[in-house]
Amino acid sequence: MSVCYPYVHTDRGMRMQAGELTSALLGAATWSDAMVEAAGIPVVDVPFVSVGGGIGSFVTVDYLRVAGVPVSDIRVLSNIDHPWQTYQYLTRVSQIPERERIRSDSSSRPDNIWGFPSYALSEAWRDRTLRPLVHVLGEPLFADYWTPRAGDVFAGMRRESARIGYEQMRVTGVVRLVRRRDQGGYFTILTPPAGSGPTKRVAYRSRFVHLAVGYPGLRFLPDLQAYREQHNDFERVVNAYEPHEHVYEFLKTRPGTVLVRGGGIVASRVLQRLMDDRERHGLQTTVVHLFRTFVTGAHGPHLWARRKGGDGFAYQGFNYPKSVWGGQLKARMRRLDGEERAALYREMGGTNTPKRRRWQQQMRKGRVEGWYRASQGTVQKVWPDTDGTLVSLVDGDAGSREIRADYIIDCTGLEADIAEHRVLADLLEHGGAGRNPLGRLEVERHFEVKGTASGDGALYASGATTLGGYFPGVDTFLGLQVAAQEIADDLARRGWCRRIGPVRSTAQWVRWVLGRPV
């Protein structure tokens, strides 16, 4: 292992001193050791730092541990307790409890870099049944795509976390910024939890930094944001990614109308919850579904790239066509830059959802009985009426109309701008980072953030913040693994870690099967 600094791992039990970010530090794009020392910020030396601590950090660290990197050479800076915590929260509030299945392929396992055995095979073995395997063999012509249960995904990551010693690498705190070091590498500034010690900041000095910070935040549509700010009403106008169980509980007490906005997978899950509750509890809930773009049939720019659709939805088994993870689209995208790349993203992108037979049956029944109504339109304004209902003024093909509802559930996604994330905003301003054709972080084919190199150090990024780069499916389990493999291979090319060759890969897979530590 080649190391450019004399690393001393002193973060466990070290004596800290109070420190603060001075105006000199905040104004400088490159820091020296003397500047940090003068500010009184204690320094921890470690070769590799991952910022975020979610599934993106977990998968990348998993690859490095399999490649032979010791626990002492890695630190994960995070404000969450375990890697799947945020994802578990989002699935729960968006109506995917642990017993339900998520939108992911059988072989896309964040806890298993080899993808074998797949989730379907593991479930078949555990439950002593061939049903999952028969299901996989029949997809997608004779059955819906087989997908794993959320609880099985979390359980797998919990086991792998213990196997690779993840908890020993995790450091609790909030990352403030990442700046270049004048001698190469980076300083990553962490704010520890209040009361954890006498210091306000800690600087992690490393050769490599990896960013996996997820989505910058929730995106509310302008009309809904204006309503919430004006009326201070966070109970009746909710985002599907924030807690809103009170909506379903209210509907169990009396008949009501819910306006669901959006046409993606989360909208599908919210609809299913509303329709399941209606069946299970004999409710009289009315569901009004508003699409910004109403899809009436198969659509797409080319015959070979047409996507199925109907009743407002664009249907697709996964976020992107499967060939983006290892087929023609992946190879084609890696050759494109600028507007050509953006154009291809527009061709294959857009909101979509799987076509599940159960959902289709429920919606058909709702349309026949009149309690489910779907239409297209753009909301101009939302206001409360005197009778307590919410009124949405909608512009559509037939002109303007009003939609009245007791609750509005916004299912339009997590698409906030990357500049809303403090660390990413600082990188754009001081770190040399730039935006890709879709406005996210521009990364190289090996996921190094363009323009941020520092001596023999490198800054990498993976996950949702890199959407728009040379690899499309970044915000998926398999996409995070592809990025982690590219990063691990680049680190091996730099001589920092070993490459995962056939012999080591086989030996490590056997250890994974047996549950033995790396």
Over residues 60-100, the pLDDT tens digits come to: 999 999 999 999 999 999 999 999 999 999 999 989 999 99
pLDDT over 50 at 4, yes or no: no
The mean pLDDT value for 98-104 works out to 90
- Closest to 463 (Cα-Cα) out of 429, 424, 410, 420: 424
* pLDDT tier for residue 300 given thresholds of 50, 70 and 90: low
Side chain identity at residue 240, one-letter code: A
Question: If we measure between CA atoms, which residue out of 91, 52, 83, 56 comes closest to residue 158?
Answer: 83
Q: How far, CA to CA in Å, does 369 sit from each of 270, 291, 312, 466?
A: 19, 21, 18, 44
How far is Cα of residue 501 from the mean position of the Cα atoms in its chain? 29
Which residues make Cβ contacts (< 8 Å) with residue 136, sequence separation at least 6? 106, 118, 120, 146
Same domain, 305 and 442: no
Residues 149 and 191 both lie in one domain? yes
Q: Domain for residue 376, yes or no?
A: yes
Would you state the structure tokens that stand for residue 139, as one six-digit string?
Answer: 């997809």
Name the domain boundary from 384, 410, 436: 410
Let me know if residue 29 belongs to a domain.
Answer: no
Q: Does the pLDDT value for residue 318 go beyond 90?
A: no
For residue 295, the cross-strand partners are 312
Q: Say yes or no: 296 and 346 in one domain.
A: no
Q: Which of 38-47, 134-143, 317-326, 341-350 has the lowest mean pLDDT?
A: 317-326
Q: Residue 94 is encoded by which pair of tokens?
A: 């968006």
Q: Does residue 42 have a cis peptide bond before it, meaning omega lies within 30 degrees of 0? A: no
Using 50, 70 and 90 to split pLDDT, how confident is the model at 1?
very low
**Residues 472 and 384 reside in one and the same domain:** no
In the Cβ-directed half-sphere of 300, how many Cα atoms lie within 13 Å?
Answer: 20
- Amino acid 314: pLDDT: 85
Domain end point (choices 382, 410, 438): 410
pLDDT at 195: 77
Residue 18 in any domain: the answer is no
Per-residue pLDDT at 9 = 41
CA atoms within 13 A on the CB side of 92: 11
Residue 3 lies in a domain: no
Q: What whole-number distance in Å separates Cα of residue 494 and Cα of residue 14?
A: 31
Alpha-carbon distance of 144 to 101, in angstroms, equals 12
Question: To the nearest whole number, what is the mean pLDDT of the chain?
Answer: 90
pLDDT band at 307 (very low <50, low <70, confident <90, very high): confident
Number of Cβ atoms within 10 Å of the Cβ of 231? 14
Per cent of the chain over pLDDT 70 is 94
Residue 302 placed within a domain: yes
- Supply the pLDDT for residue 259: 97
The dihedral sign for the CA sequence 98, 167, 61, 349: positive
Q: Is the pLDDT of residue 472 over 70?
A: yes
83 shares a domain with 116: yes
Overall number of domains in the chain: 2
The strand order across the sheet containing 48-52 reads 170-172, 74-78, 48-52, 208-211, 458-461
Asked if residue 441 and residue 302 are part of one domain, the reply reads no
Q: Percentage of residues in the chain with pLDDT exceeding 90? A: 71
Range of the domain at 189: 34-217+327-350+418-508
SS3 at position 144: coil
Q: Is the peptide bond before 83 cis (omega within 30 degrees of 0)?
A: no
Three-state secondary-structure class, residue 299 = strand
Q: Are 206 and 377 in contact (CB under 8 A)?
A: no
Residue 64: Cβ-neighbour burial (10 angstroms; 0-12, 13-18, 19+): buried
Confidence of residue 207 (pLDDT cuts 50, 70, 90): very high
Contact 79, 237 (CB under 8 A): no
The answer to which of 46-55, 150-159, 344-353 has the lowest mean pLDDT is 344-353
> What CATH number is attached to the domain comprising 140?
3.50.50.60
List pLDDT tens digits, range 362-403: 999 999 999 999 999 999 999 999 998 999 999 987 789 999
Rounded CA-CA distance 297/305 in Å is 14
What is the rounded average pLDDT of the residues 245-272? 95
Angle 253-102-407 from CA coordinates, rounded to 5°:
30
**Domain-embedded: residue 276:** yes
Which range (67-81, 282-296, 298-312, 402-416) has the least confidence? 298-312
Tokens 């087989």 -> residue: 146
Res 303 pLDDT > 70? no
Q: Is 115 in contact with 107 (CB distance < 8 Å)?
A: yes
Contact 478, 325 (CB under 8 A): yes
Domain membership flag for residue 191: yes
Tell me which of 410, 430, 456 is where a domain ends.
410
- Cα-based distances in Å from 238 to 228, 235, 262, 410, 429: 9, 7, 13, 6, 33
237: β partners: 408
Least-confidence region, from 8-22, 81-95, 213-227: 8-22
CB 148 within 8 A of CB 104: yes
Do 496 and 451 share a structural domain? yes
183: left (phi over 0), alpha (psi -120 to 50) or beta: alpha
For residue 19, pLDDT beyond 90? no
Q: Are residues 263 and 210 in the same domain?
A: no
What pLDDT band is residue 13 in, cutting at 50, 70 and 90?
Answer: very low
Residues 147, 290 share a domain: no
- 17 within domain boundaries: no
pLDDT of residue 2: 35
Co-location of 210 and 104 in the same domain: yes
Of 446, 449, 444, the residue nearest 488 (C-alpha): 446
66: Cα separation from own chain's centroid: 23
pLDDT score of 44 more than 60: yes
Q: What mean pLDDT do residues 147-158 have? A: 96
pLDDT in tens, 116-130: 999 999 999 999 999
> Tokens representing 302?
């080319």
Q: What pLDDT, on the 0 to 100 scale, is given for residue 359?
A: 84
Q: Are residues 202 and 346 in the same domain?
A: yes
**pLDDT score of 286 more than 90:** yes
Tell me the average pLDDT across 235-258.
95
Mean pLDDT, to the nearest integer, of 462-468? 93
The rounded distance, in Å, linking the Cα atoms of 85 and 62 is 17
Residues in Cβ contact with 326 at an 8 Å cutoff, skipping those fewer than 6 apart: none
Give me the pLDDT at residue 403, please. Answer: 96
Do 161 and 69 lie in a common domain? yes
| pLDDT(435) > 90 | yes
